[in-house]
């Protein structure tokens, strides 16, 4: 497909951001195969706790069963296909289908069929034993992050993450206890899902312009948004992100600089590897936004939350859940270390609300751009335009600046200082690789039939 070749050259056919045919392919080949984040274990701490989440059009119940195991069950009754759970959060020992009353234990097992003997003739007519709501074809967990894949042969999640796991720990494992995730705020934007994922993966270039207003009102200690060009971007495994360069100092001093209290810094030291500490302590880079292919993003920033010079860090996870070629549901969570002091949690939550999420001041300007890009990408003229996404590359494909050496950046993957679109290209490269490969039809399951 020539579109994919263009994408690989860093010349992006503008219509890929609003194209029904491309979206159909993405639905099957990207979302039918990649690992998809559905929830964090902290959202369902006790037996029976559940949340209902989608992978595109497919609704899943993410539930902790009575044994304490996490199950992800396709939310479709085995009888006629009614949704067995229509709430989005709650606690239940059983799910009873509202249509004819079949009931399922919270591990998915079918336990009740009204008039089983009279209507079905019992086991000899309908094999009830061993029937369960369809489990997600693949399920895996990393740092409490629950992922599913619609591909039964998906590689283990850890392999899929690859070296991105190194960076994922900064967001989701600041102590042994891990994070608690709150939310999500959910809202729909008329923007293509890829735009947000690309932006969070590597777009440091937009910060000084798009977010001028947030700097002007004094929300940040850094007086100038141009500071961003001193930061680095990295791509590792199946994801990549951006960092800020911090003023000179030790590991402790730099974490204090972004507002972490000493007790949290002490736990980070116990939890993070030497290399993970070195990126901050010696190389001076602090993680900021990031994306894991295809549509999960992260953010870490440190605004002022009161009229003083003190800043306070917050973290957010967000999913760019596609609705259609030109619409995305954003699910945005607030994340904080479970062991953080209560006062820190409170202020970090405030910092999050001011900056990101449905009302966040950064998010407001981001989304305005993305909505506008998406609607403009729908027409015929967009089909004649290949956007230049080659920032950081010379005509002969060598890079404008050299990749950082291991003495300058201790993390895995490839990192560069300054503005470039290496990560956006890396993300779309993956996308092209997925779009190129057809998926095999999965084997259907007969419910209750005799073998």
Chosen from another protein, Fe ion, ligand FES, none, partner binding at 82 (C-beta under 5 to 8 Å by type): ligand FES
Among 183, 249, 261, 448, binds another protein (CB under 8 A): 183
CA 96 remoteness from chain centre: 31
Q: How far apart are CA 344 and CA 314, in angstroms?
A: 9
The answer to whether 107 contacts Fe ion (rule: CB under 5 A) is no
Tell me the three state secondary structure of residue 23.
helix
> Residues 56, 132, 162, 187: which binds another protein (CB under 8 A)?
187
**Which of 8, 24, 29, 7 has the alpha carbon at shortest distance from 439?**
29
| Secondary structure class of 367 (helix, strand, coil) | helix
Pick what 357 binds: Fe ion, another protein, ligand FES, none; C-beta below 5 to 8 Å, kind-dependent: another protein
**Residue 312, contacted partner among ligand FES, another protein, Fe ion, none, CB below 5-8 A by kind:** none
168 binds, among Fe ion, ligand FES, another protein, none (CB under 5 to 8 A by kind): none
The end-to-end CA distance of the chain, in Å, is 43
* Nearest distance from C-beta of residue 276 to Fe ion, angstroms: 25
Residue ranges in 76-105 that form contacts with another protein under rule CB under 8 A: 86-90, 92
How far is it, in rounded angstroms, from Cα 229 to Cα 242?
10
Binding mask 66-95 for ligand FES (x = CB under 6 A): -----------x-xx-x-------------
List 148's β-bridge partners, or say none: 36, 139
Closest CA to 40 of 64, 57, 56: 64
Tokens of 356: 């990101």
* Binding-site size, ligand FES (CB under 6 A): 9
**Stretch of 114-122, 238-246, 364-372, 410-418 contacting Fe ion, by CB under 5 A:** 364-372
If the CB atoms of residues 440 and 449 are measured against ligand FES, the closer one turns out to be 449
Cβ proximity of 101 and 114 under 8 Å? yes
- Read off the tokens for 41: 């274990």
Does residue number 198 form part of the binding site for Fe ion (CB under 5 A)? no
Is residue 217 part of the contact set for another protein (CB under 8 A)?
yes
Residue 173, Ramachandran bin (φ over 0: left; ψ between -120 and 50: alpha; else beta): beta
User: Whose CA is closest to 318, among 189, 440, 435?
Assistant: 189
Counting residues that bind another protein (by CB under 8 A) gives 45
Told to check if 366 binds Fe ion by CB under 5 A, we report yes
Closest approach, Cβ 356 to another protein, in A, equals 11
The phi, psi pair for 286, rounded to 5°, reads -115, 125
Ramachandran assignment for 162, one of left (phi > 0), alpha (psi -120 to 50 degrees), beta (any other): left
Query: By the criterion CB under 6 A, which residues form the site for ligand FES?
Result: 77, 79-80, 82, 97, 99-102
Query: By the criterion CB under 8 A, which residues form the site for another protein?
Result: 86-90, 92, 182-191, 210, 212-214, 216-217, 219, 305-307, 329, 333-334, 349-350, 353-354, 357-359, 361, 363-365, 367-369, 371, 375
Query: By the criterion CB under 5 A, which residues form the site for Fe ion?
Result: 366
């Amino acid at each position: 497909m020539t579109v994919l070749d263009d994408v690989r050259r860093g010349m992006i056919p503008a219509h890929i951001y609003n194209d029904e045919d491309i979206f159909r392919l993405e639905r099957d080949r990207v979302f039918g195969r990649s690992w998809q984040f559905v929830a964090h274990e902290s959202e369902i701490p006790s037996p029976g706790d559940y949340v209902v989440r989608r992978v595109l059009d497919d609704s899943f119940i993410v539930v902790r069963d009575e044994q304490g195991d996490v199950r992800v069950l396709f939310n479709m009754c085995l009888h006629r296909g009614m949704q067995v759970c229509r709430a989005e959060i709650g606690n239940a020992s059983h799910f009873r289908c509202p249509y004819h009353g079949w009931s399922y234990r919270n591990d998915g097992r079918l336990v009740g069929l009204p008039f089983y003997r009279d209507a079905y003739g019992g086991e000899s007519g309908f094999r009830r034993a061993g029937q369960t709501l369809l489990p997600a074809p693949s399920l895996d967990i990393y740092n409490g992050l629950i992922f599913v894949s619609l591909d039964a042969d998906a590689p283990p999640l850890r392999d899929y993450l690859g070296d991105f796991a190194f960076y994922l720990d900064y967001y989701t494992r600041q102590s042994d206890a891990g994070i608690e995730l709150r939310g999500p705020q959910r809202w729909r934007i008329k923007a293509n899902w890829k735009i947000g994922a690309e932006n969070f993966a590597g777009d440091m270039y937009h910060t000084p312009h798009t977010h001028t207003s947030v700097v002007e009102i004094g929300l940040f200690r850094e007086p100038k948004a141009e500071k961003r060009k001193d930061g680095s971007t990295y791509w590792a495994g199946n994801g990549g992100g951006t960092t800020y360069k911090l003023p000179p100092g030790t590991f402790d001093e730099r974490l204090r600089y972004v507002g972490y209290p000493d007790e949290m810094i002490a736990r980070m030291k116990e939890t993070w590897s030497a290399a993970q500490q070195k990126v901050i302590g010696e190389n001076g880079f602090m993680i900021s936004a990031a994306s894991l292919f295809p549509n999960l993003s992260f953010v870490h920033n440190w605004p002022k939350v009161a009229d003083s010079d003190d800043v306070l860090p917050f973290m957010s996870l967000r999913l760019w859940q596609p609705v259609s070629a030109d619409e995305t549901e954003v699910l945005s969570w607030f994340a904080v270390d479970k062991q953080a002091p209560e006062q820190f949690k409170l202020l970090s939550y405030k910092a999050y609300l001011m900056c990101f999420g449905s009302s966040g001041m950064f998010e407001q300007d981001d989304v305005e751009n993305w909505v506008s890009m998406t609607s403009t990408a729908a027409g015929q003229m967009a089909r004649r335009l290949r956007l230049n996404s080659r920032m950081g590359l010379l005509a002969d494909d060598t890079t404008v600046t050299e990749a950082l050496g291991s003495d300058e950046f201790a993390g895995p993957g490839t990192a560069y200082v300054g503005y470039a679109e290496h990560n956006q290209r890396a993300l779309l490269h993956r996308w092209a690789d997925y779009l190129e490969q057809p998926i095999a039809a999965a084997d259907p399951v007969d419910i209750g039939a005799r073998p």
